Amino acid sequence: MLRLLLPLAALAALLRAAFCVQNVPERSFGIDYESNTFVKDGKPFRYISGSIHYSRVPSYYWKDRLLKMKMAGLDAIQTYVPWNYHESRMGTYDFFGGKDLEYFLQLANDTGLLVILRAGPYICAEWDMGGLPAWLLEKKSIVLRSSDSDYLKAVERWMGVLLPKMRPYLYQNGGPIIMVQVENEYGSYFACDYDYLRFLLKLFRLHLGDEVVLFTTDGASQFHLKCGALQGLYATVDFAPGGNVTAAFLAQRSSEPKGPLVNSEFYTGWLDHWGHRHSVVPAETIAKTLNEILARGANVNLYMFIGGTNFAYWNGANMPYMPQPTSYDYDAPLSEAGDLTEKYFTLRKVIGMYKELPEGLIPPTTPKFAYGKVRLQKAGTVLEVLDGLSRSGPVRSTYPLTFVELKQYFGYVLYRTTLPKNCVEPTPLSSTLNGVHDRAYVSVNGVPQGILEREKSLKINITGQAGANLDILVENMGRVNFGRYNNDFKGLVSNLTLAEDILVGWEIYPLDIDGAVNYDIIYPLHNQETSAVKALSYEVPTFYTGTLLIPGGIPDLPQDTYVNFPGWTKGQIWINGFNLGRYWPARGPQLTLYVPRNVLVASVPNNITVLELECSPCSTQACDIEFVDEPNINATLLHETEKPPLFVREMWTKHL
């Protein structure tokens, strides 16, 4: 009898478990085409979402930014996955620390936010090369974003790593991801390769299954949707405030006669470029159009809800060549530093007209602290510390090699040759084929000669004796992220000529400046009165170092801050080995760089390294940088004659 009771007890337990499963609603997310709506857990659902890029926000602040987005009334967040952020070198994958995408998704889930994942492989995003890794260009003839076999192999390998990581986070599997975007704005690309889109569709289905909603995003016109939409991928559109909402959604209806209306990129601001004014879009304009979108029952994603920062070298560029600055503030509802703005509360009020806002306190703006001035000391020119920056020494080549050929994908490379003849009189050094990508700092035997710049300055005059070292430090200022020219090779991509002679016999030094900073190879010169030092001008690219002491006796320090560069021209800055990004106050509009508190420490001095590429103030005024408590990313530029249009890419269309 005992033997009989045990199986019966086990059977009863199984029946109870089965009963419980039947009474727990299955998690599901899909499209009801007949009702023109999304369906979540069997009920009609409309989402209001906002964009945040985990790659542009320190992981220390992910939770703070997500909670602020939740308290604004958002149902979901939208985020890009930059392939090159996780696989900067072929076959080496990095999902740790600030690149821990799974931790970010879990935080979103814990905050009660759904996720719309924009998985690429191409993302645009004003991000270097639109998120595509530069090593793809090792095959010079590769056709990116197409059925090129080498490109597809690389995409297949990458998605075989990324998408299996994402599958447990799909909504039906208990995670927050309700939708996954395939590619991005493909209708704006010249290739129009439907086989490529079909390949991606099959690949995504293989790794993610048949239940997840896969979608595309394109401009709100039949022209863009013609090559961007594909059967099996739900077509959505993007459009700006102030336009005709009805016409925009009619464009979507040309590809999707039924189903939910979706604006996947409703712009809350706009992108910036060095040398142009910071883009500002009035909150009232956005609120008016947002109200029109929501009144139609449409779904919307506010791009951006927080822009963040292009730390290190991650900014992109547009054509004709215009790189974007370090700040990606975007005039978004949350500022670059996550501050609450008037726009945040204006849009929150509109959202509150259509759904119940969450109860509770909105996390406050994080405090900022003005630590004041820090005196820097000269630590040597790039030429003086060259051995420490290029530990493996030079690569020798008859003609210049590109960054990719050197497997140096970011930063700086020094090209050196010797003058083949005496240049007693000023002699033209030319990049006749616009082959300097992107900016070159030229010196002869350590004496500065001038700057060559892509599409702006293709010829300078130099002087020097035959046999003198001609040194050309080339800066990669960010790869093109939009249009046909995102196969953007860097370095000296064509020959330089001196008068009529092609320069040959190059020694090329890939520079690991980030490694040198982290390993303390760059340090102040203790004897700055030597003749060797005095002979070299501060006008050549030079390192400066200093320390910031966090004051004691003040609670809750360190706090966020901004670093200002009075009298400095253009360069790069590191704090405690962390690459904050580029500064360029001489061109603007950004004058200050955001310094998140997690970069700073209170217990020991904070080490600061500055690479000034053109001209420091140190020979004429105080050799200081200053930490302030307010940003300035909207400096007025005297040389600018007109304000560039917002939301307009027509100036780039010939480069599509």
For the annotated catalytic residues, the residue numbers are 185, 265
Kind plus residue range of the DSSP H or E element containing 278: none
CA distance 29 to 177: 10
Alpha-carbon torsion 67, 68, 74, 80, what sign? negative
CA distance 356 to 84: 39
Total residue length of the chain = 656
CA distance 50 to 48: 7
N- to C-terminal Cα separation, the chain: 80
R_g (Cα) of the chain, nearest Å: 27
The answer to whether residues 192 and 143 touch, using CB atoms and an 8 Å cutoff, is no
With b for 16 or more beta-carbon neighbours within 10 A and e for fewer, the 165-181 pattern comes to: bbeebbbbeebbbbbbb
CA distance 575 to 595: 9
CA distance 149 to 143: 9
Place of tokens 């600055």: 325
CA distance 194 to 536: 57
- Residue 86: Cβ within 10 Å count: 21
- Does residue 363 have a cis peptide bond before it, meaning omega lies within 30 degrees of 0? no
Regarding beta strands 436-437 and 469-475, do their DSSP bridges make them parallel or antiparallel, or are they unpaired? unpaired
The answer to whether residues 237 and 217 touch, using CB atoms and an 8 Å cutoff, is yes
Q: What is the DSSP letter of 333?
A: S
Q: Which string of DSSP letters, residue by residue, matches 155-179?
A: HHHHHHHHHHHHGGGBGGGTSSEEE
Q: Could you give the 3-state DSSP secondary structure of residue 283?
A: helix
Supply 449's token pair. 């000669």
CA distance 93 to 80: 17
Q: What is the DSSP letter of 643?
A: P
Q: What is the DSSP letter of 255?
A: H
Alpha-carbon torsion 620, 622, 627, 628, what sign? negative
Give the residue ranges of DSSP H helices in 59-99: 62-71, 83-86
Separation in Å, CA 205 to CA 146, 163, 200, 485, 625: 19, 10, 8, 30, 52
CA distance 101 to 95: 7
The answer to whether residues 340 and 334 touch, using CB atoms and an 8 Å cutoff, is yes
